[in-house]
Amino acid sequence: MLQTGSGATTREAIHSAATRLFRARGYSRTTVRQIAAAADTDPALVIRHFRSKELLFLETMHLTIDDEPLLDVPLERLGERLAGLLVELGGSARGVFLALVHGSNEPHIHERLRDTHERLFVAPLRRRLSCPDADVRARMAAALAGGLLYALWVAGDEGLLRMDRTELVSRYGALLQEVLTPRTS
């Protein structure tokens, strides 16, 4: 009957509090009671609205990039464009990505991360390629993309973090370009 009483609003309060906390502190370091307190409600209600902490996590942690800017650039600049997107990605996307990676010990979260990798990197890149080995190229480029995020955020390579952004974009972009449209020399 979906009566839109105060139920929906507290549900949204829980949702937004969970989003913020999961992004900031990850899955295991965020407790249901913290979420309840931030949403000014009861821990039991958090579970009653979303059926478990893990389902709440899955419902809040969606990693999306507008992949339109990926598509509207000429093919020979795709590598640099993707590299630029990756290094500028920071902020909220960083939190979601790290939460997914850290939480992917849990099978459902791992599945979510795999979907995200496929949908965010592999599929858009493959769509831009027409050669017979487009799938392999897209997957290798996706591995490179994930590798950059891994090195910067997961491993925390301070050498790369301190590096000049435009140089990093240029060099890593050239590498991505080499996977996507190799020089046949």
Q: Is 30 in the site for DNA (CB under 7 A)?
A: yes
Nearest to 140 by CA among 111, 178, 108: 178
Residue 166 to residues 41, 92, 124, 155, Cα–Cα distance (Å): 46, 21, 24, 21
**Partner touching 77 among DNA, its own copies, none, CB below 5 to 8 Å by kind:** none
> Rounded to an integer, what distance in angstroms lies between the CA atom of residue 26 and that of residue 20?
10
Residue 106 to residues 26, 57, 80, 88, 158, Cα–Cα distance (Å): 13, 11, 34, 29, 28
Site string for DNA, 31-60 (x = CB under 7 A): xxxx------xxxxxxxx--xxxx------
**Partner touching 170 among its own copies, DNA, none, CB below 5 to 8 Å by kind:** none
Whether the CB-CB separation of 178 and 79 falls below 8 Å is answered with: yes
How many chain residues bind DNA (CB under 7 A)? Answer: 25
Q: Provide the terminal-to-terminal Cα distance of the chain, rounded to the nearest Å.
A: 66
Q: Is 91 in the site for DNA (CB under 7 A)?
A: no
Where do contacts with DNA occur on this chain (CB under 7 A)?
1, 3, 5-8, 10-11, 30-34, 41-48, 51-54
Where do contacts with its own copies occur on this chain (CB under 8 A)?
26-29, 98, 101-105, 110, 113-114, 117-118, 122, 135-136, 139-140, 142-148, 150-152, 154-160, 163, 171-172, 175, 178-179, 183, 185
